[in-house]
Amino acid sequence: MKENWGIRSNRESGDGYSDIMIETEDMEKGIIIEIKYAEDGNLQKACEKALGQIENSHYDEELKDEGINEVLRYGIAFYKKRCKVMKSLS
């Protein structure tokens, strides 16, 4: 993270509230992070659910409206002391 990046948390975007949204200082890239707790321990499934939520809820709309075309999407899942991160690019 850099000090000039814009970071927003639990802010309304698209059709819901994204967990974390980041704009880089040059406004060339955006980052959306959705975090899920894998209640059954299936980290893969929880990451896929997080990425699906980003896609289905159109969390990238606000960034794209601001002229950011490259949006990195991260789904993060955790269960007890384990964690998994998956990424997709729009």
User: Which domains are assigned to the chain?
Assistant: 6-89 (3.40.1350)
CB 72 within 8 A of CB 63: no
Mean pLDDT of 42-53: 97
47-to-2, 24, 36, 58 alpha-carbon distances in Å: 25, 24, 7, 17
pLDDT in tens, 2-24: 666 778 777 656 567 788 998 88
Give the dihedral of Cα atoms 85, 66, 6, 84; nearest 10 deg. Answer: 0
pLDDT in tens, 56-88: 999 999 889 889 989 999 999 999 999 999 999
The helix or strand, by DSSP H or E, that contains position 86, with its residue range, turns out to be: strand 82-89
Q: Structure pTM?
A: 0.84
62-to-57, 65, 84 alpha-carbon distances in Å: 12, 5, 26
pLDDT for 5 equals 75
